[in-house]
Amino acid sequence: MSLTSNGVMTDQYHRREIATSSVRSAQSNDARALDDMPGNLAGSVLSPVASVPQHAADLEQRLLASPLLAQADRHRVLVEWNDTVATYPQEKCLHHLFEAQVERTPDAVAVIFADQRLTYRDLNGRANQLAHHLRARGVGPEVLVGLCVERSFEMMVGLLGILKAGGAYLPLDPSYPKERLAFMLADSCVSTLLVTQTTLA
């Protein structure tokens, strides 16, 4: 009887050892799996979750402080994908670059507004007409011209026309309160103001 009893006890003991060893092995494998997760996600997200009942406020702060991107991905998004520097003639003004494009593609579409289109040739012609008119009114270098128009072809014509005349433009949003527009005009001392019939209405 004692031998049989000892044999059973010994068998139960070995079973407990095997079960304990299996649990330890599973825990070790889980730990290695967490360590292998990309960006140490286990350390930044999963580990705080285990302490939610005790440290809810600390968990929130740690989650907010945890980076959403790994360092390499962050560099790719913020630096590599934003490397959009393009070389262009630094000695030329905007309207000079526009005129060069007019010579290259005069019949190409330059501006699209609603269902209307304007070619480089047409836009340049309208801007030149406005520039001649502005020069006749004394617009030139160091002269500020107010441009109070809504988004339209007229806005592009006005902007280019002012630059071609040698002046500088002050953009004014027609949706601003009249008092604000009056203050901006008085404060800037513009000599000429460009508006449209729609703006006046």
In a domain? residue 87: no
CA dihedral sign of residues 42, 45, 46, 48: positive
CB-based contacts of 118, cutoff 8 Å, min separation 6? 109, 110, 111, 112, 153, 156
**What residues make up the domain containing 99?**
94-200
The rounded distance, in Å, linking the Cα atoms of 178 and 182 is 6
Residue 102: phi, psi to the nearest 5? -60, -40
Give 80-138 pLDDT, tens digit per residue: 888 888 777 778 888 999 999 999 999 999 999 988 899 999 999 999 999 999 999 99
Regarding whether 125 and 31 lie in a shared domain, the answer is no
CATH number at residue 116: 3.40.50.980
- Which of these three, 80, 115, 132, is where a domain ends? 80
Whole-prediction pTM: 0.58
In a domain? residue 8: yes
Regarding whether 98 and 76 lie in a shared domain, the answer is no
Neighbours of 51 (CB within 10 A): 12
In a domain? residue 23: yes
Give 135-174 pLDDT, tens digit per residue: 999 999 989 999 999 989 999 999 999 999 999 999 999 9
